[in-house]
Amino acid sequence: LEWTKDKKIDKEYLEQADSNIFVEKKENFDFVLKELLDRKLYFKAFNLISLNINKFIVSENLILQILKNLDLNEITQKREDVSLFSYHLKQLFEILYKSTSIRKEDLVPIEFKFFYSLKRDFNFPKFIKYEFFNNGQFFIDLIKIFLLSKEKQHVDVVYDILKIFIEYDLDDKKAEDNEFLSNIYNWVENILNLVNKKDLKVISMIKEMIGERLARTPIDPEDNIFPHKEIRKILEKFNFEELRRGFLIELFNKRGINFRERHSGGKLEKELAQEYNEFANKLQNKYPTTASVLREMASRYEFDANELDKIEELED
């Protein structure tokens, strides 16, 4: 850009300029960014920072201000390349995630706003994950929004965020995951204490989703038995029908797509049923409720195995 040094003309030019603005000097960059923000041209400010990110240092607070005010509809209207936008967004979030001055309370709403772009690169946005792991009320509030909100778009985002939390496989080799797993009993207890017992629909869904969350946990490394010891404690203490149902549903769903040899019938299902029965037998004395849940899972696979064997016989 060549500046006329007439601020009125320069401002008019900014209004008409293409969104992709490159500058060579720091003073020009600072001037253009200030003018764009003064005029609330946040989409152009976003592009200015993104395109010059390797040349100039930008305040984290300015990045936060731009992301807070960026209109997602403007991106659609301008037919912005979604992949390119997501790439630039990722760069800015990496700066914010490294910041020591930005509060997580300020970033969570921004992660919600750009959730669909962020999940391509981060899968589980950093501070949304933190809130799930450390704030039981956050989980309750999302369930309430999902059940009670009349804004479909809002409900859809909340549903997808809840789904990512439920389907996130805890890895006990990751420090933050292992810490959550170690405290998961307290997490469940806290949520059940916080929720209003009169909100029957809410508490029913919370119990079921807790059960689903518990299913996505690793084998206990101490005795090589599933589920993890902390999960067994929860199943014994909070023996709710909804929690049990959620656990079984997600335990079945997490198996995903499976491939089998031709003419193998229900061989895979028989192996899974045997594994769950073996776990149940080992846990029967100390964790009878957990053993009962595992036997129910084994029965499901035994039934499926019989059905697949029948199909195999008919095909022969």
Task: Tell me the whole-structure pTM to 2 decimals.
Answer: 0.84
Name the least confident of 239-248, 266-275, 303-312.
303-312
Name the least confident of 63-72, 75-84, 115-124, 255-264.
75-84
Which is higher by pLDDT, 20 or 306? 306
Task: Provide the terminal-to-terminal Cα distance of the chain, rounded to the nearest Å.
Answer: 76
Tens digit of each residue's pLDDT (9 = 90 or more) over 149-197: 988 888 999 999 999 999 999 988 889 999 999 999 999 999 999 998 8
Tens digit of each residue's pLDDT (9 = 90 or more) over 213-233: 999 999 999 999 999 999 999
Q: Assign 76 a pLDDT band (cuts: 50, 70, 90).
A: low
State the Cα–Cα distance between residues 217 and 129, nearest whole angstrom. 16
Tens digit of each residue's pLDDT (9 = 90 or more) over 250-259: 999 998 777 6
Q: Quick check: 269 and 302 in contact, CB under 8 A?
A: yes
Instruction: Inform me whether the pLDDT recorded for 7 exceeds 80.
Output: no
Average pLDDT over residues 47-64: 90
State the Cα–Cα distance between residues 104 and 127, nearest whole angstrom. 6
Mean pLDDT taken over the chain: 88
